[in-house]
């Protein structure tokens, strides 16, 4: 049994934690006023994952929820005191090897023009947008000014993704 890898980010009225466990089964998420507990079986080997987090500040456990996908379990923790920034997820300042900040979803509040940041399905709709982007063909992309149209010049020297 070991902790699941997780990423987190802060919003004005909520905190999101994503436990990165593919093919999770028997998912259990417990919300307490100052704690969040997570456990599941994950992967083809059915590895037991368990995380217990003493939260930085209080949450509304009745308004907090989670959603399982094939790749992870996303938890939405409603802050008891909206508008109060969390500089870290945990009460203690200790660095946890399994926990990191989700910088892709982090947002500076000063730049924040939306009042409603508690949309739990935001991340899923973003993923759907990315999936739609994957269907765009090369002809659908705009011409880039200054781009070199001569493909034969250094094409053999460049590594391909």
Q: Is residue 60 part of a domain?
A: yes
Q: Is residue 140 part of a domain?
A: no
Among 99, 129, 124, 102, residue whose Cα is nearest residue 11: 102
Helix, strand, coil share (%) of the chain residues, nearest 5: 10, 30, 55
In the numeric block, which tokens belong to residue 29? 């998420």
- What pLDDT score was predicted for residue 112? 52
- What pLDDT score was predicted for residue 107? 79
Angle ∠(77,30,59) on CA atoms, nearest 5: 30
Q: Is residue 134 part of a domain?
A: no
| Cβ proximity of 120 and 67 under 8 Å | yes
Q: Is residue 105 part of a domain?
A: no
- What pLDDT score was predicted for residue 139? 53
Residues (pLDDT < 70) of the chain are 109-161
Side-chain-side CA neighbours of residue 18 (13 Å): 20
User: What is the count of structural domains for the chain?
Assistant: 1
Q: Which CATH number is 36's domain given?
A: 2.60.40.790
Q: Is residue 153 part of a domain?
A: no
Largest pairwise CA distance in the chain: 62
Q: Which residues span the domain enclosing 60?
A: 6-93
- What pLDDT score was predicted for residue 108? 72
């Amino acid at each position: 049994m070991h902790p699941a890898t997780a990423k987190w980010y802060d919003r004005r009225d909520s905190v999101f934690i994503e436990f990165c466990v593919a093919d999770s089964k028997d998912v259990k998420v417990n919300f307490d006023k100052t704690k969040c507990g997570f456990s599941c079986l994950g992967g083809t080997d059915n590895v037991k994952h368990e995380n217990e987090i003493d939260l930085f500040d209080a949450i509304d456990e009745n308004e907090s929820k989670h959603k399982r996908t094939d790749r992870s379990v996303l938890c939405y923790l409603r802050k008891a005191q909206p508008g109060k920034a969390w500089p870290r997820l945990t009460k203690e300042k200790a660095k946890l090897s399994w926990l990191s900040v989700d910088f892709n979803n982090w947002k500076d509040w000063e730049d924040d023009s939306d009042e409603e940041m508690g949309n739990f399905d935001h991340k899923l709709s973003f993923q759907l947008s990315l999936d739609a982007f994957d269907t765009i063909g090369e002809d659908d992309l705009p011409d880039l000014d200054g781009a070199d149209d001569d493909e034969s010049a250094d094409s053999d020297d460049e590594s391909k993704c």
